[in-house]
Structure 1
């Protein structure tokens, strides 16, 4: 018998909830949990639930089609369930139409459940887990919900991992060398990147033909040249303003949780989604289909374009943003995703979006002010489609980068450095063949004319592709310094390479520093951090810097996006300095919170020098592409350490 629609909803919702770390428990069932030790390393968890609101709680496990309606889950693999979940009272049978009138176990008042478990590792004093369950009613079916619980364990070991180090005070450092702050260092760089993206979007077939049409509309319909210029400038401002508005929701997220944008940028599934989306964008740019927003959006915006003077101009700008989405969307998506992987969060995103909007709006205003310039514009034609296809190849290269981010965070090793570079070489080779006319796509002209601009583009991409080839080898030329940070790190390789490897645990590094009487250099980093890789490949490799790091410091790298789950005994609910509660489940959770609590930052890379008494010797240091400047900061830390002896 086929699955009913409701049963499919049940299966899908249960599956996705099992992947989610952000689910909230429902008010329809109030739970309490306790534990009882039954043997060495063996416990029984006892759940008491009270169903409310006239709902019913499904209690079947592994029905005829293999579905669970309720199950206990743990993140730590050292905790195993011993037998199935046991129902100790409060259940009844019900012929449920959701399951084709099959008789299923439910509870509609109070219920008692037990789950036996075996813990092979250290037993924590407080065990964390979740109870995933499903509720419903006669006329409705609710998706699976999750009850997150902490339960005391008899004989368990109390969590001793340190996160907040009270002796670290950045306002009272032994030396004032270092950065005053990490915010705003690259905002204008992101703005310029967005500006370039806006200019590129102008050369797409969705936008370029609109320039003379729009400028002509304002200059001829405004009554006077002065009013036409005013309206065109207002039109350009509204284009800029609309793209700024798109970044506002990210500021709200950033205020809710300063680490949320970093978590988004390193989220494995989000990076995989970006990979898929960018591949779809690329195929669209190749001309096999067109991505558009629903027609009613454009129609509604266009219908308002004649309402009043200022309001009408605003809706004209909104109409442009909507109808050009099939071309600007992928470029804007590249910018948005790129900004989220950087360190400035929502503010960098706003600067990038503002730059993009300005790049898109500026020509409309300038051509309205100087309409004679329109005569110098090239005519629309096949070259616009060529620009679009070239962008499609670049979208494919970006897609590989996002897949690489997910691979690095999860350490799957499906895209080592050489395979990543090899894919880029293939993309570059195919792009050159396309520009030479060997490869054609649906909307290309049958005959390709290769003029000076096209020859220049062919040469540029040929040189770039040839430059990548040494990256496939195990030679000194494999570093590809011009691209450092974009491919996976040199250590993530098919070859065995000798590189400087810091420690990975703060307390272990501090103990070694005290034994060797050296200051501790903390490197807050991430697997998906571009600027971290640039520092490691361009600054750390400097002979003077490397000598200091290897011989004068004990270095520890703390990966804030490490998804390895902590042992149960090290998991905890941490109270932040602002009074909030944060679940520390993974290694990355621990080090990200360690950074934000002690060093007031969530951006990477961030470097800190700490003395043997765990006081800050200097102010912290952010991304520093100058090896000389970074060396000077290290020497300042050594000098401060010497004075404190």
Structure 2
């Protein structure tokens, strides 16, 4: 969890350096011959001022060490002892609480090798390293050492004849490509961003009710209104303070726009990355037990002290540092909520903009009370007093964090096909979590920071009844019945076909589907049917919502079942392609991408042919590759039904 404390530092540094960034490390590779079979391989690098690169031997629990990987080691040659390093520096990290070892200005690593075969002309491999200043970047590059003095270039990724052939087959000869247009309705997109803003705003309102934030409202407002000689200026300063709060949270989303512009698939890759989802699962469990009161989740106290000292500066700068102090000292309550917002917004479908909208909503909710109470100070008298009710809010949030944690584990399970969290197991875990929440609300179980039991109030009883109603709603999801759909939760539990009960197919709603494009097209030709090309993902929430809320409607389901050949292509499937089907694809820019997994193939296929990287994405086409209408994305049942019907009419 210590590593989470780096987030604010890294983001701030990223924003400051992103515009004028240049590679901070320049590498050079040389060879020193010892005898006919032994050589010293010398890695040297020039490091830009103020940057540093971590040693191979920096302690665990800190920054990432440099790692050198050799090709054909123990086949062509063997390593003789450990690598030796030149001058390094050791410094204690307050963040990681370990002594980190790193290089400054110049790097020198020497590795001795002994040849096991004759006529070995070169040694190749890859070096991974982390370079840091205010921002840390991870880099890796291939290297080559020439043992006979011949100048040899590093082997670049090549697009061989096999790769060229497979790449050509990946490109479709669509007969009417003019129908491939931006299908994202601007109004719908703005509506979607507004929804994310509102969710972020609600998250901020919840954060206001926590013991880290709520008591600071009257204190801060009183500071501006009573400790300023000019009352009007005090009100102005309080409003500026609120605007700075909004700005700070908005800035946290800026780095993700850089990521989004580098590669349109990157946010989808992040959101479906197996190990990142497992890490999110662990982090959310950690968040939950923090909310339960077993430990406090805080940023280093020195950060808050420094910001507090800086807030004594007069004028706008002092107000900014006051706002930054609030963000830091309230982290133990706002951090988990922000973590939920961050993890939930990482998707290919406008992830960076969604994150900005959510962060802005969150900051606005936090800022609003400071501005409103400064304008209307008498309202402060109507604020409820701090007390045990705030701890109740934290514990309830802890249960929600626990429920969300299993969503991330479910994402990893689906993408990797582990079979650990089938739909019914997931729902059973949620039932257990919300039963425990109900027991807590009704004072049957307690947590460390709870005071003596008190008589239940109306609000607490009402909320407890709602939780019980939700538990009752979940119970049918444990069975294989028509009511097990749980439409209100579509997208959160695993899909219906990912079940402990025996299923006819591994396709949505028991439909017949193909998971390979060529196989599906061949079947469509044979049966003279149009194709519904479904770009989807195992961890795609909106895909599940479409399948369980829209496809499940009788009129839509009948059209799909009787009139279309469904081809579902999962862009996040991490299953490796057979060796003979793996290849390198070269984009027009010259960049070469290695296609190793099923998801790599279909994500590239979608981007190449339809200029889109978001899911769900639906295309209607004839078997001879003629588009039947404009592609469709996430929408409602009426629009989708009419779209399917129009496509069928155009085909006939």
Structure 1, unmatched stretches of 5+, are 1-24, 32-48, 56-67, 74-82, 99-103, 116-129, 136-142
SS at match of 1:276: helix
Structure 1 residue corresponding to 2:376, chosen from 352, 370, 376: 370
TM-score under structure 1 normalisation?
0.78
SS at match of 2:584: strand
Deviation, structure 1 residue 536: 0.9
SS at match of 2:396: helix
Match of 2:283 in 1: 277
Instruction: Find out whether 1:536 has 2:543 as its counterpart.
Output: no
SS at match of 2:513: coil
Instruction: Find out whether 1:622 has 2:628 as its counterpart.
Output: no
Match of 1:518 in 2: 529
Deviation, structure 1 residue 515: 1.9
CA distance in structure 2 between the partners assigned to 1:131 and 1:522 by the alignment: 41
CA distance in structure 1 between the partners assigned to 2:41 and 2:159 by the alignment: 24
Structure 2 residue corresponding to 1:637, chosen from 621, 637, 647: 647
1:524/1:604 contact within 8 Å kept: yes
Instruction: Find out whether 1:505 has 2:516 as its counterpart.
Output: yes
* Residues 357-385 of structure 1 deviation map (CA, whole Å, 9 limit, x = unaligned): 11111111111111111111110001101
Instruction: Find out whether 1:163 has 2:170 as its counterpart.
Output: yes
CA distance in structure 2 between the partners assigned to 1:159 and 1:388 by the alignment: 54
CA distance in structure 1 between the partners assigned to 2:444 and 2:467 by the alignment: 15
CA distance in structure 1 between the partners assigned to 2:622 and 2:587 by the alignment: 24
Match of 2:75 in 1: 85
Deviation, structure 1 residue 216: 0.6
CA distance in structure 2 between the partners assigned to 1:389 and 1:214 by the alignment: 26
Deviation, structure 1 residue 345: 1.4
Structure 2 residue corresponding to 1:562, chosen from 545, 548, 573: 573
* Residues 509-543 of structure 1 deviation map (CA, whole Å, 9 limit, x = unaligned): 11222222222211110000011011111111111
1:51/1:107 contact within 8 Å kept: no
Structure 2 residue corresponding to 1:357, chosen from 331, 349, 363: 363
**Could you say if the C-alpha distance between residues 212 and 177 of structure 1 is closer, same or farther in structure 2, counting changes exceeding 3 Å?**
closer
SS at match of 1:423: helix
CA distance in structure 1 between the partners assigned to 2:420 and 2:166 by the alignment: 35
Matched ranges for 1:201-240 at <5 A: 201-240=207-246
Structure 2, unmatched stretches of 5+, are 1-24, 32-38, 46-66, 86-110, 130-138, 144-154, 505-509
Structure 2 residue corresponding to 1:466, chosen from 461, 469, 472: 472
Moved more, 580-589 or 351-360: 580-589
TM-score under structure 2 normalisation?
0.78
CA distance in structure 1 between the partners assigned to 2:554 and 2:79 by the alignment: 74
**More relative contact order in 1 or in 2 (CA 8 Å, sep 6+)?**
1
CA distance in structure 1 between the partners assigned to 2:567 and 2:329 by the alignment: 51
Instruction: Find out whether 1:592 has 2:603 as its counterpart.
Output: yes
Q: CA RMSD in A?
A: 3.4
CA distance in structure 1 between the partners assigned to 2:445 and 2:389 by the alignment: 15
CA distance in structure 2 between the partners assigned to 1:69 and 1:28 by the alignment: 14
**Could you say if the C-alpha distance between residues 275 and 293 of structure 1 is closer, same or farther in structure 2, counting changes exceeding 3 Å?**
same
Moved more, 416-425 or 227-236: 227-236
**Could you say if the C-alpha distance between residues 611 and 179 of structure 1 is closer, same or farther in structure 2, counting changes exceeding 3 Å?**
farther
2:266/2:348 contact within 8 Å kept: no
CA distance in structure 2 between the partners assigned to 1:570 and 1:627 by the alignment: 38
Match of 1:78 in 2: none
SS at match of 1:549: helix
Match of 1:322 in 2: 328
Deviation, structure 1 residue 214: 0.7
Matched ranges for 1:278-357 at <5 A: 278-341=284-347, 343-357=349-363
SS at match of 1:386: helix
1:50/1:111 contact within 8 Å kept: no
Instruction: Find out whether 1:261 has 2:267 as its counterpart.
Output: yes
1:573/1:583 contact within 8 Å kept: yes
SS at match of 2:502: coil
* Residues 374-397 of structure 1 deviation map (CA, whole Å, 9 limit, x = unaligned): 111110001101100110010000
CA distance in structure 1 between the partners assigned to 2:128 and 2:381 by the alignment: 67
CA distance in structure 1 between the partners assigned to 2:257 and 2:184 by the alignment: 24
**Could you say if the C-alpha distance between residues 321 and 639 of structure 1 is closer, same or farther in structure 2, counting changes exceeding 3 Å?**
same
